[in-house]
């Protein structure tokens, strides 16, 4: 890196960790890329681009065109396709890649979790486990439950979901973080008897509320971890970048 030239980092973001990392890289040239799936995203500081790259080849071309010195995949833990593209593009260009992932949740005393590999298996487990479902898988995951006719669903998302959706569905449009008190209020008000969620990590108010109410949780496991250096926090990511991108 020539003296006096700020290293350029591309952050594949859309998460809290991605925004915090962009803000922590003072003196760096930071580009944050958002998928564009919400109309009013929370924007990180610095340069922001919105939309896809056109697959791994398109991302590799962008890395070369913008002369990116390091790539950070700070996407959602379930954004498996984007992560695979990041791994392939980094390998094709030689750009160092870091995966920034918040740690997953760990079951504790009083929890009643049933881990499942995917949305389809979660839908198949209903309604034997419960028939009034708090569904917190994001709007793109709601379609997997469209054929579950024996359950009533309370689903929360930032924007309304597109069809297909369950026949008996109430949507709450809201953006986190959410408090334990608020989650308990929703569960009690709607007489929820099972929670379905992804192992996204981060604030766990809904899991604390489920434990307090004694209701089971269908926990959808994360996709397999990518073969790339991985850290769980912003400070660790900054430390890695100081070595890799200079």
Is the pLDDT confidence value at 4 over 70?
Answer: no
* pLDDT band for position 14 (cuts 50, 70, 90): confident
Over residues 170-199, the mean pLDDT reads 94
pLDDT at 41: 74
d(CA 238, CA 246): 12
12 and 78 part of one domain:
yes
pTM, two decimals, is: 0.90
Whether 141 is in a domain gets the answer yes
Give yes or no: residues 157 and 69 share one domain. Answer: no
Q: What is the per-residue DSSP string for 157-210?
A: ESSPPPSP--SSEEEEE--S---HHHHHHHHHHTT--EEEEE---S--HHHHHH
Question: Are 77 and 156 in a shared domain?
Answer: no
Bridge partners, 165 (sequence order): none
Closest C-alpha to 114, from 3, 234, 221: 221
Q: Is residue 3 part of a domain?
A: no
Q: 93 and 37 share a domain? A: yes
58 with 33: CB under 8 angstroms?
no
The count of structural domains within the chain is 2
Average pLDDT, the chain: 93
Give per-residue pLDDT as tens, 93-123. 999 999 999 999 999 999 999 999 999 999 9
pLDDT band at 2 (very low <50, low <70, confident <90, very high): low
Q: How many residues does the chain have?
A: 246
Identify the domain containing residue 238 by its residue range.
8-103+224-244
Answer for the pair 130, 193: CB distance below 8 angstroms, yes or no.
yes
- For residues 142 and 177, membership in a common domain is answered with yes
């Amino acid at each position: 890196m020539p003296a006096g030239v700020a290293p350029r980092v591309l952050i594949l973001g859309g998460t809290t960790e991605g925004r915090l990392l962009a803000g922590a890289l003072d003196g760096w040239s930071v580009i944050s890329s958002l998928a564009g799936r919400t109309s009013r995203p929370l924007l990180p500081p610095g340069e922001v681009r919105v939309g896809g790259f056109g697959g791994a080849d398109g991302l590799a071309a962008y890395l070369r065109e913008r002369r990116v010195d390091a790539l950070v995949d700070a996407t959602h833990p379930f954004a498996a396709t984007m992560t695979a593209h990041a791994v392939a593009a980094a390998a094709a260009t030689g750009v160092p890649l870091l995966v920034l992932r918040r740690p997953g949740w760990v079951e504790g005393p009083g929890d009643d979790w049933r881990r499942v590999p995917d949305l389809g298996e979660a839908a198949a487990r209903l309604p034997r486990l419960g028939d009034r479902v708090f569904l917190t898988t994001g709007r793109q995951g709601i379609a997997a439950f469209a054929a579950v006719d024996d359950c009533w669903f309370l689903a929360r998302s930032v924007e309304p979901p597109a069809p297909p959706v369950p026949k008996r569905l109430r949507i709450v449009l809201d953006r986190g973080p959410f408090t334990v008190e608020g989650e308990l209020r929703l569960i009690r008000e709607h007489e929820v008897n099972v929670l379905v969620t992804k192992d996204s990590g981060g604030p766990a108010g809904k899991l604390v509320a489920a434990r307090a109410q004694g209701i089971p949780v269908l926990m959808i496991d994360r996709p397999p971890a990518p073969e790339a250096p991985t850290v769980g926090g912003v400070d660790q990511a900054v430390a890695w970048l100081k070595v890799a991108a200079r």
